Amino acid sequence: MTEPKATGIGVIKDWILAKHESRTDVGPDEDLIENRLVDSLSFVEFVFLIQETSGVEIDLDCLGINDVRTLATIEKRFLAG
């Protein structure tokens, strides 16, 4: 049996886990930035992924860092609805 393909916030979580082999899970309220799960250079790719997954257009020039700090915030801000 294969795992069902992730959707929504699961896509974001899978992307993070793929980049950090030592991790098996990311908590919904875990600070992705303080914990260095997303760094300054992977940030752009990360934001594009949120954009692609949510269909919400995100302007990198205006994005507040707190909008993407945890999986819970990302879900609420971009994926709820």
Partner 1 sequence: MDDISYTAQWTAAARALESERADGLIRDDYARHLAEPRGFELLDRYRGAAVSDFIAVRTRYMDDALTRVLGHTGIRQIVLLANGMDTRTHRLDWPEGATVYEVDHGALLAEKQSRLAALVVEPRVRTVPVKADLAGDWLEALKSGGFDTAQSTLWVAEGLVFFLTEQQVGQLLETVAGACPPESWLVVDMTSATLLRHPMTQPFLRSLREDGTPWRFGTDQPEEFLSDHGFAVRDLRQPGEAGAGAGRWPYAVTPREVRGVPRNWLISAVTKA
Which residues would be at the binding site for partner 1 (CB under 8 A)? 33, 36, 38-45, 59-63, 65
Nearer to partner 1, 1 or 62 (CB): 62
Least separation in angstroms between CB 36 and partner 1: 5
Nearer to partner 1, 1 or 19 (CB): 19
46 Cβ partners below 8 Å, 6+ apart? 12, 15, 38, 68
- For residue 61, give the amino acid letter: D
Question: Positive or negative, the Cα torsion across 64, 31, 9, 45?
Answer: positive
Question: What secondary structure does DSSP assign to 44-72, as a single string?
Answer: HHHHHHHHHHH-----TTT--GGGGSSHH
Question: What's the closest the beta carbon of residue 64 comes to partner 1, in angstroms?
Answer: 8
Nearer CB in complex with partner 1: 55/64: 64
Closest distance of CB 47 from partner 1, Å: 9
